Structure 1
Amino acid sequence: MVVEALSGLLRKAIAENMYKGYLVGSKKVDISILQYADDTIFFGEATMENVRALKATLRAFELISGLKINYAKSCFGAFEVSDQWRSDAAKYLNCTLLSIPFTYLGMPIGANPRRTQMWNNIIHKYERKLDSKNSGGKAQKDTTKIPWVKWDTVCLSKNKGGLGIKDLSNFNEALLGKWGWELANNQNQPWARILLSKYGGWKELISSGKSKFSSQWWQDLKAIF
């Protein structure tokens, strides 16, 4: 409820023509802010007018809410501008420069999900958790032969002799199918309007054509329809 005030302040700045968002796709869908809990991403034209308006908006939010922006964890990035301009803008906002890929909600943004190195940090995170759980007792050499079991069997429910582990391929396909269903039935949602403007929406999704310029996610989504 509190951070909704931040969206309200930015909408006011846009209405007063003080801030200009980023226009996506052929239909020019205006995107200026994405929020999830206390994580926020601002989008806009790479101009100093926008930078000054953004700093004023953040300062106003601090004053009316009593909260403080954690600039040490905040980053600024811009495309198709000089390194000097990018550095000056980041300094004005008291932020560090954004590097690509960056992490948002625990996921790397801007990386190719097909590349194994994208998932290295997540793999290492769970390796550390497993190591911490196994480090309590005295280490003993395990001479037991590993009983290899087919993955299809592992993914069976426990009452059928498996471990009840999800088959990630099937689970991912089900999630993609859900996205396709939502796209067809909730076309007024902001994310659906973005996909309509950028890729052509549901009609393009079920077409047979391919686009090498689309994201990997959109290509995977098209592949199941």
Structure 2
Amino acid sequence: MREAVEKNLFRGFSVGTNNVKISILQYADYTIFFGEASMENVKTIKAVLRTFELVSDLKINFAKSCFGAIGMPDQWKHDAAKYINCSLLFIPFIYLDIPIGANPRRCQLWDLIINKVPNRMVDKLVSIQRRFLWGGGIEQKKIAWIRWDTVCLPKEKEGLGLKDIKTFNPALLGKWKLSLCQHQVELWARVLDLKYGGWRSMDEVTRGTNESIWWQDLKMVLINRNRAMIFKME
């Protein structure tokens, strides 16, 4: 794919005013191609995949592969998917078990995933933890003999060392700022910098922007944390 891009046989997706090109993302055995919606790109993808099969002596599972496009007629999408011999992709879709394009503030989205968890889902998870700890079941409750905040204390402070999701989740989200600062040359960091302003913009309150829900929630966690730290210092 890199050679196809260098020879202008495939045109990737441009991000930001500096036109950072994204043509492929890979993680383990997951692969996503990004590019302009054109039949030339579709033919190049088909050629790249076929070349991979011939060189590696491996077979691509086209039954699990999907093709999608934004802003193109339905008939064009069907024709392109048929040419590649795969099914049509619908948004939201699943990538690494995460729904891409779905609203992350819907509690149903997080039934199987823990990342940016709504308060209702946090309460549900804590309830499951408590019932498991005190020997109850999904429909059965037993007496909690110790306060939950005591249970979540470290063992050296006479707790059980369980993670408090309400504080642990914001801590994980806060690590995004450190990662952005330390990996500014990486592709994912450059994309976030062009789209949202990078780690420097995380402490800025903005209104009426086109920021994604994920970025807005991430900024809110960091801004609230900074306010708490300032209040504590005062």
Q: What CA deviation, in whole Å up to 9, does each residue of 1:21-63 have, x standing for no partner?
A: 1011232211111111111111111100000000000000110
Give percent identity, aligned residues only. Answer: 58
2:154 matched to 1:157? Answer: yes
Deviation, structure 1 residue 186: 2.2
Provide closer, same or farther for how the CA distance between residues 145 and 28 of structure 1 changes in structure 2, counting only shifts above 3 A.
Answer: closer
Task: Give the distance between the partners of 2:156 and 2:29, measured in 1 at CA.
Answer: 42
2:179 paired residue among 175, 179, 182? 182
**Shift of the alpha carbon at 1:155?**
2.3
Letter in 2 for 1:11: R
Question: Gaps (5+ residues) in structure 1?
Answer: 1-9, 124-129, 131-140
Q: Which residue in 2 is equivalent to 1:27?
A: 18
Q: 1:168-208, CA deviations, whole angstroms, 9 ceiling, x for partnerless residues?
A: 23222222221101212321111110011111223322323
Q: Name the TM-score, length of structure 2 as normaliser.
A: 0.77
What is the aligned partner in structure 2 of residue 3 from structure 1?
A: none
Identify the residue that residue 147 of structure 1 maps to in structure 2.
Answer: 143
Partner amino acid for 1:166?
Answer: K
1:180–1:221 Cα contact (<8 Å) kept: no
2:90 matched to which residue of 1? 99
Answer 1 or 2: higher relative contact order, Cα 8 Å, separation at least 6: 1
From 116, 131, 139, the counterpart of 2:107: 116
Q: Which amino acid aligns with 1:95?
A: C
**Greater alpha carbon shift after TM alignment, 192-201 vs 50-59:** 192-201
Measured in 1, the distance between the counterparts of 2:20 and 2:219 equals: 22
Read off the aligned partner of 1:37 and give its amino acid letter.
A
Amino acid of the structure 1 residue aligned with 2:143: P
1: CA distance between counterparts of 2:160 and 2:68? Answer: 45
Q: 1:145 to 1:184 in 2, by over 3 A?
A: closer
Which stretch of structure 1 is more off in the superposition, 96-105 or 202-211? 202-211
Q: Distance in 1 between matches of 2:187 and 2:58?
A: 28
Q: Given the superposition, is the C-alpha separation of residues 112 and 163 from structure 1 closer, same or farther in structure 2, using an over 3 Å criterion?
A: farther
* Counterpart secondary structure, 1:35: strand
- Where 1:103 maps in the other structure, the secondary structure is strand
Note the C-alpha offset of 1:116: 1.4
Query: Which residue is equivalent to 1:135?
Result: none
